[in-house]
Structures are given as C-alpha cells and as structure tokens.
Amino acid sequence: MIWTLTLNPSIDHFTELEDLQPGTTNRAQRQRYLPGGKGINVSTVLKNAGIPVRTIVCLGGFTGDYIQSYLENEGYQPVVIPLDDTTRINMKIHAAEETEVNGAAPAFTEADAAAVLNTVEQIPAGDVLVLSGSLPDTLSTDFYAGIIARARNKGIQTVLDTSGEALRKGMEAGPYLIKPNEEELAAIYGESIDGMTEAVRLAQRAAADGASHVLLSRGGDPSVFTDGSSTWTAVPPEGTVVNTVGAGDSTAAGFLAASAAGLPPEEAFLSGIAYGSATAFTEGFGSPEAAAAIQKNLIMTKLEEEIG
C-alpha cells in the first residue's frame, strides 16, 4: 500500500480572467475549488491510475471540513488528523501571467505533531510513505527526517518531495527517493545548475549524502535519475504547457505507479517523466492513458561515465 502525508493542505481556488489589474476590482470569468497539497495531488494521480493509496491529511476549521468531505465523497478514505487551527486557502490566478498567493500554514501544537508520528507508526512494514509539501513553520525543519528514520526502522520506504532545510535534513535521513526540481536541489547546496553537468553532479551528490534514489526534474530540460552508482537522463516531450500545478506531484506518482507494477527504478523514472508531462500539457491532472502515450516516445540514456 502507498500512503501519502499532507501536513499543510489547502483549498486551491483557481480563478481565470483575461488580465489582472492590481489595485482595482477584478472579476473572474471562471473559478473552481479543489483540495490542494502535494500529498493529496499524489493520491489523486495514483487513484486515477488504479493504484491503492491511503491519504493522511491534517485538517482544521471550515476549510478542513470541506476538504474532508470532498475526499470522503470521492472515495479517498482519508485518515484525518484534526487540528485546532484553520486549513489555508491558496489562490491560483490565471490571467496574462500566472500568479499564486498561498495562505499561511496552520499552527501545529506538540500534541498535533505527536498525533502525526503516532499515525505514521500504524503504517505496516513493507508499505510506502510519501512525504510531500512544505512544513508548517511551527514544526521543526527535521520533522520529515524524524519520520523517515522511524519509517526505516519499520521497513517502510519513504519518498520525500519538499524543499529547503526540510529537504536537506530529510535527505540525510536516508529516504528511498527524493524528487527535487533544479531550484530546490541547487538551493540546499548553495550552488546553481546551469546545465546537464551541474545537474548530474548535484543529483549524484544528493545520492551520496543519503538518498537511495534521486529524480531531478528540470522543466523542459533533460531530467536526471540516479541511484548513486548508475545515472540516467531523459528528455521530456515537446508540448504546450498549460498547467504547472501538480506536474511535479504527478512525476512522483508516475514513479510510484510503475514501482507498484514491479518495474525497475530506471523504468519508473520514465513513467514519472511521462505522468509529469501529461499533467503539464492539460488542465487538471494528466490521465494514465495520456502518460502511457507520452512514455512510448521517451528515450532514456544511461551515462557511461559518472561526473565527480
């Protein structure tokens, strides 16, 4: 079974208008509301692919009630950790340019943090736990690292998709997979990625620093995957990007879907690229059928020499 954990979910309010005029009243032409949060997004893509998944989510207030009701009605069978504080609302504004305004995270008490850890302890050995998204400010930056250490002791594989100190410390705790983008990986090393050489070098460095596998997504540039001893690259397909929300989460979900089907990690890498691209090329999340069509045309290259 695959489990996802979303500590900092949201209601994502998508609104569309021709042009956003700051300082004046703007009227939306279209709007929709969906539960947001990287773990929930991963759950959605896996669910659409027919992969069994359980969604652990921390929720509070009227916004939390909305998300819980939505997930239950859609058959997610969520495991809800209740919070006293209110779950945030994120604004996704599509106009001449794409603008996001993310709400503040709810405050976590010591009891809330303990409830999360207790829930993780109930996950059976041999399962997979996906840790996705930002950490609320009231949690320590080593919170994910602590979960990863506990999971390893129980024989649970972990997938980490976050940024900043939470990524650096979590990576050092030894997750099975991390899935950073260029900015996130470069930031934890205080470097920049200006091309393939730097991308491969930092991905391999992350593997050496604790992650068993590293899937580095690079937008329209070739993605990188390494297990520390071997490294592969794949060029994403060309297409019109219409949606960036959830593309990275779809990449992680595509990797997990292929892994659940018994494919080796390097093949799961291609599945991740295909799912991420399928989402980027459509409104909402890309379908398994769209991902499969994309994957047929992807070419993966194994590097002959490692970059030190």
Structure tokens at 6: 């979303």
Which residue has tokens 């593309």? 247
Q: Give the pLDDT of residue 135.
A: 93
* Longest alpha-carbon distance in the chain: 57
For the chain, list the domains and their CATH numbers: 1-18+31-175 (3.40.1190.20), 178-308 (3.40.1190.20)
Does 10 have pLDDT greater than 70?
yes
pLDDT over 70 for what percent of the chain?
A: 99
Sign of the torsion formed by the C-alpha atoms of 17, 287, 103 and 133: negative
Does 307 have pLDDT greater than 70?
no
Q: Is 174 exposed, middle or buried (0-12, 13-18, 19+ CB in 10 A)?
A: middle
Active site residues: 249
Structure tokens at 7: 């500590």
Neighbours of 20 (CB within 10 A): 15
Does 189 have pLDDT greater than 70?
yes
User: What is the pLDDT averaged over residues 255-277?
Assistant: 96
Pairing state of beta strands 177-178 and 213-216? parallel
Measured CA to CA, the distance from residue 119 to residue 80 in angstroms comes to 10
The count of C-alpha atoms lying within 13 angstroms of the C-alpha of 160, restricted to the half-sphere facing its C-beta, is: 37
Q: Give the pLDDT of residue 239.
A: 84
pTM of the predicted structure, to 2 decimals: 0.92
> Which band of pLDDT confidence, cut at 50, 70 and 90, is reported for residue 219?
confident
End-to-end CA distance of the chain: give it in Å, rounded: 37
> Which band of pLDDT confidence, cut at 50, 70 and 90, is reported for residue 261?
very high
**Contacting residues for 130 by C-beta, under 8 A, at least 6 apart:** 2, 3, 4, 5, 39, 42, 158, 159, 161, 252, 256
Q: Mean pLDDT score of the chain, rounded to an integer?
A: 94
Neighbours of 26 (CB within 10 A): 14
Measured CA to CA, the distance from residue 207 to residue 215 in angstroms comes to 10
Does 265 have pLDDT greater than 80?
yes
Instruction: Report pLDDT digits (tens) over 231-252.
Output: 999 998 888 887 777 889 999 9
User: What is the pLDDT averaged over residues 45-51?
Assistant: 96
User: What is the pLDDT averaged over residues 176-204?
Assistant: 95
Do the Cβ atoms of 231 and 203 come closer than 8 Å? yes
Q: Give the pLDDT of residue 305.
A: 56
Do the Cβ atoms of 99 and 127 come closer than 8 Å? no
Task: Report CA Rg, the chain.
Answer: 19
